[in-house]
Structure 1
Amino acid sequence: MSTLPRRLHSPAQAIAAAHEIAEAIAALAADPLLNRELPRRQAQLLSDSGITAIGVPAALGGLGASVETIVETVRIISRADGGVGQLLQIHNVMLRGVLSGYPDEVRDGVVSDVLAGKRLGNALAEVGGKNKFALKTRVERRADGKLILNGSKFYSTGAYLAEWISLTAASDDGGAGVLLQRDTPGLTLVDDWDAFGQNNSVSGTVIFDNIELDERYLLRRQGPMKRTGLTFPQILHAAIDTGIAAGALQAGIDYLNQHARPWVESEVERASDEPHIIRQIGEYAVALRAAESLLRDAARTFDAHEREPDNKALEDELILSVATARAHADGASLKISSDIFSLLGASSSLSKWNLDRFWRNARVHTTHDPIRWRLHHVGNYYLNGIDPGEYTAILNAKQKAGASR
């Protein structure tokens, strides 16, 4: 007999719940024998803890958590396992879309499932086209008037273990969003995510084969996307990388204290007393603290922007602060997770320790959205006075030109 997830009543409870399950998730992540197992236990821990429901508005029975609280839960879980953190990240992103776009009856049905512990996944990106927005997945109206969906997606984070899949498709009327329940006839979820990192994001293939759509679950794009339309997924990606950096540093410190031997020239009894190691750990900690501080600042700016959505200066600052947090999180996660092996010694590379999981996760996750373009927007703002943006501008241009048809 299944039980309902814990109901969380405050931000403090949400943060505490994330810390509590992070311990169990970290223990699973540390076991190299589980590297290729589907993260069913981890996903269930997310649901049972109640943190997958904190983004539901209070008026609909949820916590109505701030962006700052949601960001912090994703960071905490990613410290334990970056792949599981990405499951939580995409769930929150897709939930936000459902809350803001679909009819009330559709929204309320999905919210009811979320409050019962069900999760959302995505099916947005495709492979094989000129770029990620060259969509071959299409919605077409059949002669009998029914809407039919055909195509496939890859990088479908969380979809394999989700109750609801949110996707994008092209049509003769432009781009469209679609919600599908996992048991929809014609929908196939494939467990074929086989990267060297972020294994637990289960970002594999979803196939749509002549799916007959309920029009209530199809959302036509109305007007251009907001300039900050991608800022929410961006800040949660920064939370993932910041969490990975923290997990890598703590795992390295634990290994230094429990297993590492001091270098012969150091004339100290413990590796943790070696001055060069102390200094280097300090450098890593400074990089991590900077990333965490910038992430908190960006999250608070996000919440301020939501209180004043028409404040142009605040909108600019939001985009700049999220780009800055992403850039620092990217650098900290890659540097710490890779470079720390230089302090731990050759034995730390043995598979039994599974310490490379942090680097593998960081290296794969940081390819998601090139930091060079976040830096471009920041640089263009400071150098040329160009309003900072994201690739929402590209999406809007393609939509206007009919490129998604």
Structure 2
Amino acid sequence: MTTIEHPPARRITHEAEAIDIARQVAGEIAALAADPENNRQLPRRQAELLSSSGLTAIGVPTQFGGLGASVATIVETVRLVSTADGGVGQLLQIHNVMLRGVLGGYPDEVRDRVLADVLAGKRLGNALAEVGGKNKFALKTRVERRADGKLVLNGSKFYSTGAYLAEWISLTAASEDGGAGVLLHRDTPGLTLVDDWDAFGQQHSVSGTVKFDEIVLDERFVTFRSGPMKRTGLTFPQILHAAIDSGIAAGALQAALDYLREHARAWVESGVERASDEPHIIRQVGEYAVALRGAESVLREAARVFDAHERDPADKALEDELILSVATARAHADGAALKIASDLFSLLGASASLSKWNLDRFWRDARVHTTHDPIRWRLHNVGNYYLNGVDPGEYTAVLNAKEAQGATRR
């Protein structure tokens, strides 16, 4: 297994500093993303920038030496990085999600070891989803106890975002004791990381295959689900997905504005010298900007509600509002990213479609990323709440029901 070299990581001490650094890092990543030759290159340099800047450590709580950043700040750093490259934004998104998982459920010595690595600039990836099953809860990857008493892991995963470039891989598996969570170091014998992610977008999320072949597990790094998943258990990954799509929308709009000012020609019937003076273009840019501002506003509001919920997790009304506001952020971000990234070509002209401009990367990333979690079900949950008074939820309820039926024991 290839060892990853990590440059020394900066220690960020203030939330405003984290946002400033994210903006700087996004600028460097944007310069790389603009070059079409980088589309199919592994984002090693981009991942190093995330780590060395200290952005990957801001979610570490203060009692363990980190910044203990608010959800609002973590959301904003993911959004800013995603304005440059949605795939790299997803590397940061999944790292933060997996980091939260490390903070609960594992022994202190495991937690402390992983957090020390994160503070040193090392990253986490995931290995949760599989292909070929009846649904996403039908896990074929299993943890089983051998006759000699050892726990052994076998199986494979796909959509393993960030895993190929990560130090630690967090995964789920089925077992006789129900759903199991496992942390594996990339150098674990029997673990194979495969660079086979080949989608037309989000190429830099490196969401390929991870294989487990008779891996003998250290039981300190294994947890078994002892109760139902929290009702709001998916709101953190969900709000960061909204941050990615809002970022893609912002990046697409900025790229369109730059092209309009520097390269586009006014249409012959317009009577103006510059494309940026065409009234129809000005109006359409206004529509894009309104869609983007709406997405960013509801994203900030959802992050505010999230931080309020963190301070008072027992407040049921606040819990409901969190689910509804995150679903709203997802819906607005989804729409803005797809609209702006796709429609911008109607303003820029045929030359903008040339590969050298690489402007299609925003649409490709938006189209691939927004398939992650069907927005129709977020809208269903919101609509069912308003129309029928049904508690808003996420598919954590489905997971809990499947677990009760023994789905993760088979």
Q: TM-score, normalised by structure 1?
A: 0.99
Pair 1:262-2:266 in alignment: yes
Which residue is 1:51 aligned to? 55
* Aligned residue runs from structure 1 range 5-404, under 5 A: 5-404=9-408
* Contact kept? 2:105, 2:223, Cα under 8 Å: yes
Question: Residues 332 and 3 (structure 1 numbering): CA distance in 2 closer, same or farther, change over 3 Å?
Answer: closer
Deviations 1:316-345 (A, max 9, x none): 000000000000000000000000100000
Separation in structure 2 between the aligned mates of residue 2 and residue 13 of structure 1, nearest angstrom: 22
Q: Measure, in 2, the Cα distance between the counterparts of 1:385 and 1:189.
A: 46
Question: In structure 2, the residue corresponding to 1:148 is in which secondary structure?
Answer: strand
Give the 3-state SS of the residue equivalent to 2:103 in structure 1.
Answer: helix
The C-alpha deviation readout for 1:69-125, integer Å capped at 9, x for no partner, is 000000000000000000000000000000122111000000000000000000000
Runs of 4 or more above 3 Å deviation? none
Could you tell me which amino acid in structure 2 is paired with residue 82 of structure 1?
Answer: G
Structure 1 distance, partners of 2:38, 2:234, is 33
Give the CA deviation at 1:55.
0.1
* Aligned-partner SS, 1:101: coil
CA distance in structure 2 between the partners assigned to 1:114 and 1:39 by the alignment = 19
Report if aligned partners of 2:98, 2:125 keep a CA contact under 8 Å in 1. yes
Alpha-carbon distance in 2 for matches of 1:401, 1:130: 15
Please, which moves more after superposition, 1-10 or 386-395?
1-10
What per-residue deviation string (whole Å, max 9, x for no partner) do you get for residues 268-302 of structure 1? Answer: 11000000000000000000000000000000000
2:54 is aligned with what amino acid?
Answer: G
SS of alignment partner, residue 219 of structure 1: strand
Partner letter of residue 120 of structure 2? A
1:264 is paired with a residue whose SS is coil
- 1:290 aligned counterpart, secondary structure: helix
1:292-317 CA-to-partner distances (Å, cap 9, x unmatched) read: 00000000000000000000000000
Deviation at 1:133, TM superposition (A): 1.1
Q: What SS does structure 2 have at the residue aligned with 1:265?
A: coil
Percent identity for Structure 1 against Structure 2: 82
> Size of the alignment, in residue pairs?
405
Cα distance between partner residues in 2 of 1:100 and 1:259: 52
Residues 17-67 of structure 1, C-alpha deviations (whole Å, 9 max, x = no match): 101111110010010011100000000000000010000001100000000
**Aligned AA for 2:170?**
S
Structure 2 residue matching 1:155: 3-state secondary structure: coil
Question: Given residue 79 of structure 2, which amino acid in structure 1 is its aligned partner?
Answer: R
Whole-angstrom CA distance in 2 between matches of 1:102 and 1:333: 37
1:207 is matched by which residue type in structure 2? K
Alignment-mate amino acid for residue 401 of structure 2: A
Aligned mates of 1:287, 1:246 — CA distance in 2 = 10
Quote how far apart the aligned CAs of 1:239 are. Answer: 0.1
Residue 2 of structure 1: how far off its partner (Å)? 6.3
What is the CA–CA distance in structure 1 between the aligned matches of 2:345 and 2:104, rounded to whole Å?
45
Gaps of 5+ in 2: none
Judge conservation of contact 2:6–2:51 (CA < 8 Å) in 1: no
State the Cα deviation string for residues 190-227 of structure 1 (Å, max 9, x = none): 00000000000000000000000000000110110010
Report the Cα offset of residue 3 of structure 1. Answer: 4.6
- Of residues 4-13 and 181-190 in structure 1, the stretch that sits farther from structure 2 once superposed is 4-13
For normalisation by structure 2, the TM-score amounts to 0.98
Q: How far 1:4 sits from its partner (Å)?
A: 2.1
